[in-house]
Amino acid sequence: MAKIEKLEYDEKMFRNSPADVIEEMIAKTNEIIDVVNQPKRKDKKEKGKRVDVKVEEKREDEKI
């Protein structure tokens, strides 16, 4: 017959009720969401700053 081994378990797993565990998971998830949704820092130097340039088109119709 197969030898039956005694399973070791962490006592912390049985201290908390399932509701407490779920609340902890939700709190950790909300912390992650808050970090992801933080506004991005703008560097002081602002490298690669976008500049909009207007290009004037000359049409042949405008010549007098």
Q: Which two tokens stand for residue 3?
A: 């030898």
pLDDT at 35: 81
Distance between CA 9 and CA 32 in Å, rounded? 28
Q: Is 28 exposed, middle or buried (0-12, 13-18, 19+ CB in 10 A)?
A: exposed
pLDDT truncated to tens, each residue of the chain (64 aa)?
566 666 666 666 566 677 787 888 888 888 888 888 877 766 555 566 666 666 666 666 655 5
Confidence (pLDDT) at 8: 65
pLDDT at 46: 57
pLDDT value of residue 53: 64
Please name the amino acid found at residue 58.
K
